[in-house]
Amino acid sequence: MLTATSPVIVHKRVVAAAAIELADCHPRTSGLGAVEDYVRAVAEFLGCRFDVRTMHGVGGRAGPSDHPDGLAVDFMVDPDTGDDLASCALDNIEDLAVKYVIWEQRINHGDEWEPMEDRGGITVNHFDHVHISFESDAPEDVSIEDLCS
């Protein structure tokens, strides 16, 4: 459980969570599986920050994906929350070690949204969740206490 005063250890860095009101935040992390430690910490931070209760991490996918390697998280969200969460991830792409974001049938590697092909449904087109893929190494000495505020 994250609390307003607990630091979160992330790979080679400590993430201070004191500035974000995280008291009583209990994101469901069981769906993350064996994601990388820093991916889990960022998922917990974003889950608490945006009140996302359901997240999915490691799992098989039909096509190429960072999920099997523990480097991707799907945040199940409503449209408004998805817009805010995707913006936060992209605004802090280096600090959060984000590789790319997929949301509402678009992908963004940090520069601009690009349309994606229609895969045939709400979930596969990412209209009910924000997909965040992470770099294979977390940046060092980064504090996320003021991010996404």
In tens, the pLDDT along 96-112 reads: 999 999 999 999 999 99
Residue 142 has pLDDT above 50, yes or no: yes
pLDDT at 53 (0 to 100): 84
What predicted TM-score, i.e. pTM, was given to this entire model? 0.81
What DSSP letter does each residue of 20-87 carry, written as one string?
S--TTB--B-GGG-S--HHHHHHHHHHHHHTT--BEE-S---SSS-STTTT-EEEEE--HHHHHHHHH
**Helices then strands (H, E): number in the chain?**
2, 8
pLDDT at 18 (0 to 100): 34
In tens, the pLDDT along 73-83 reads: 999 999 999 99
Question: 9: which strand partners?
Answer: 14
Q: Tell me the two tokens of residue 107.
A: 């992908």
